[in-house]
Amino acid sequence: MAKGPGTLHALFLSFLVLTLLSGCAVRDAPSNLARGTASGASTPIVHAAAAGKLEEVSALAEAGHSLNTVTEQGSPLMAAVRAGQDRVAWYLLSEGADPDLAAPGGETPLMVAAGDGSRRLVQLLLSAGASVNAVDEQRYTPVIRAAEQGNLSVVKVLLAAGANVNVSQGGESLLMKIVGSGDLLTAEMLLAAGADVNYRADDGRTALTRARAINSRDLEMLLVQAGARL
């Protein structure tokens, strides 16, 4: 039976839709996002990212070099973050680099940015979907890194993004660690975010006993006012 104009038109539209969808599928899975491991010496995109050479990074990516290859120092994104190369980090993330791709040992780009106090990179990584509560092999999280370094503005950003304030490491809560270092301002921020003031370590220590051990009356008063008890 002969096909009328309407039927031919419908067939043409179906063919056009299938062509467009297949084209999208190809673009959705570019080869330069493949995961893998390699040595740093054989991964020029890592060195270019660390050096902030955006044009070279872009050229290598377009040539098929993977954005998600992990070397001894981590991924190209990790190299850019560690070197504070904001523009390169933005480019890599915009091209589909995995924001949570960890270096050997579990360290993520967000942990590095948080420890370095780079609020801009922290916000960039969070906006790209980086896990705010990632944990490495040493039980570090981004907020522990930021708090230990006294990076208050970064701690604030991480807490606002949902960072768990009641994390622990080595049997101590984050609040205990910060109190033990004598950091009053960070301790205040952690308590305001809901840190457990009465968390007790296996050996019985609390944040209050840590404050008394370093003879900090200010921290002791802060903790007592927050409900600390022996």
Residue 153 structure tokens: 């503005």
List beta partners, residue 168. 173
Query: What pLDDT is stored for residue 27 in this prediction?
Result: 43
pLDDT digits (tens, 9 = 90+) for 45-104: 999 999 999 999 999 999 999 999 999 889 999 999 999 999 999 999 999 999 999 999
CB 52 within 8 Å of CB 85: yes
Arithmetic mean of pLDDT, 204-219: 96
Q: Is the pLDDT score of 4 beyond 60?
A: no
Closest CA to 176 of 200, 202, 146, 141: 200
Is 40 or 33 the better-scoring residue by pLDDT?
33
Query: What pLDDT is stored for residue 38 in this prediction?
Result: 62
Rg (CA), the chain: 24
Tell me the CATH number of domain 165-229, given options 3.30.499.10, 3.30.565.10, 1.25.40.20, 3.50.50.60: 1.25.40.20
pLDDT digits (tens, 9 = 90+) for 155-187: 999 999 999 999 999 899 999 999 999 999 999
pLDDT digits (tens, 9 = 90+) for 7-30: 545 544 454 444 444 444 444 445
Query: What pLDDT is stored for residue 50 in this prediction?
Result: 95
Q: List the Cα angle 41/61/63 in 5-degree steps.
A: 90
List beta partners, residue 37. 70
